[in-house]
Structure 1
Amino acid sequence: MSPFNITFLVTIFLSLFFPTLGKVDPTLSRPKSQTLSYIESSCNGTLYRELCIRSLSKFASTNEIDGPQHLAHVALSISLARAIHTKNFLVGVSNNNNNNNDRKKRREYQTIQDCVNQLSDSVDQLSQSIKELRRMNNKSRSTINDDFLWHINNVETWVSTALTDASSCVYAFPGHRMSKRTASIRGKAMNVAQVTSNALAFIHKYMEAATRNTKP
């Protein structure tokens, strides 16, 4: 799947799960350059800053990134899109490798199968997280109460689990003497882990901002 198609898939997720994100009052929208500055500043708190800026900047002109809440939504949607893409890629590789009788290839096949299962779990966890954020988005939160904390803790737990699953897939492959295909698989899984790590950082930022801006 090309970067364009991944971006298109993210846009679909945003429209399905958060239909109000694209309906920003034109009088309140800010210039693209200002949104890019906000993205760059926000990415400073992530482990993979350059990847963070590169993946989020595609949405700088869509009025979907105007605060910690929207930032978390978009980052999670990017993570989900990458996880789906990588899982589907691995399924294709696995199907092509299924009937190979070579012992080394069979071991590789089993490792790929394990990764498919791990990334399937990541997709499920990220999907749950996005749905939970939507539930929070549909509720009025003039105060940070137990209900809000319960929802945001669910999101943090699920995204953390998705990150663990994606990282397990990365570590299943050696970091040296890899075939071109194995290196490609590991690279794609690592990308999922990194964008998920960034998304988790934005979940933390969202919670901090919501707590800070709570009315007494």
Structure 2
Amino acid sequence: MQTQPISTIAFTVFLLLFSPPRAAAVRPPPNPLRSSCAQARYPVLCFQTLSNFSNPTAKPLDLAQAAVRASLVRTRALSAYLGTLKAASQGFGPRQRIAVSDCVQQISDSVSELSKTLNELQHLRDGTFQWQMSNVQTWTSTALTNGDTCISGFNAAATTGNVKLELKQRVTDVAMLTSNALYLINRLADSVTGKSRSNSGN
């Protein structure tokens, strides 16, 4: 039986002892914003929105405010678009003009509801938290419903063409943002309510 030279064995042992270990695969820590959006109706949009309007260490209240702020910005833009559309609606039929006028009012109301929501979120107090959150949830839900009512009015008016397509796309974009904002508002309410129950049980 042939044996390896002592020098070869010693060199092999040296390599085993002193070779640097392979770097272990390290998983990146979970992104807090992505985790916050995981259960939202539109999680990718939620994450993109929060990335633009907040920071990775933001608290649930900050995230809810950021989401409402993003929705409010887009809703104001939609309101301005509808104002321009109404001014140019003389060539529409009577039912189409009524649908545009109704949308103008509904989206204007949404701007008001979201403005109240954002203001309330910026002035939450321990003693009235649940009552304030109830208001916030109602206002945001109403803003979401207004968009659906606007689209339904256009569908009932049998409006066709690029105007209807663009309007539906703009309203849908706002609705997606508002839906995510409502989710984060509900998440904020649940997080604080859960803490209160936990503290009361101690």
Distance 1:65 1:87 in 2: 33
Q: Match for 2:47 among 43, 49, 53?
A: 53
Distance 1:39 1:109 in 2: 42
Residue-by-residue CA offset, 1:48-103 (whole Å, 9 max, x unaligned): 2222222222235xx48612111100001111111110010011011012x32x53
1:207 aligns with 2:201: no
Residue-by-residue CA offset, 1:8-36 (whole Å, 9 max, x unaligned): xxxxxxxxxxxxxxxxxxxxxxxxx97x9
Equivalent residue letter for 1:40: R
| Equivalent residues of 2:32, 2:56 under 8 A apart | no
Once the two structures are superposed, the pairs formed by residues 54-203 of structure 1 within 5 Å of their partners are 54-60=48-54, 63=55, 66-97=58-89, 99-100=90-91, 103=93, 106-136=94-124, 139=125, 141=126, 145=127, 147-174=128-155, 178-203=160-185
Residue 177 of structure 1 deviates from its aligned partner by 8.3
Equivalent residue letter for 2:62: H
Equivalent residue letter for 2:183: A
CA pair 207-109 structure 1, distance change in 2 beyond 3 A: same
| Equivalent residues of 1:126, 1:162 under 8 A apart | yes
Residue-by-residue CA offset, 1:106-137 (whole Å, 9 max, x unaligned): 3222211111100011111111111111120x
CA pair 150-64 structure 1, distance change in 2 beyond 3 A: farther
Distance 1:73 1:65 in 2: 14
Distance 1:96 1:112 in 2: 10
What is the TM-score normalised by the length of structure 2? Answer: 0.75
| Equivalent residues of 1:118, 1:169 under 8 A apart | yes
Distance 2:118 2:107 in 1: 16
Distance 1:129 1:80 in 2: 10
Distance 1:174 1:55 in 2: 29
| Equivalent residues of 1:94, 1:113 under 8 A apart | yes
SS in 2 for 1:178: coil
| Equivalent residues of 1:65, 1:74 under 8 A apart | no
Distance 2:45 2:149 in 1: 20
Distance 1:184 1:114 in 2: 17
Residue 152 of structure 1 deviates from its aligned partner by 0.7
Q: Give ranges in structure 2 of 5+ residues lacking alignment.
A: 1-27
| Equivalent residues of 1:65, 1:71 under 8 A apart | no
Residue 42 of structure 1 deviates from its aligned partner by 1.5
Q: Give ranges in structure 1 of 5+ residues lacking alignment.
A: 1-32
Equivalent residue letter for 1:95: A
| Equivalent residues of 1:59, 1:65 under 8 A apart | no
What is the TM-score normalised by the length of structure 1? Answer: 0.71
State percent identity of aligned pairs.
31
Residue 209 of structure 1 deviates from its aligned partner by 0.9
Paired positions, count: 170
Distance 2:37 2:160 in 1: 32
CA pair 87-65 structure 1, distance change in 2 beyond 3 A: farther
SS in 1 for 2:41: coil
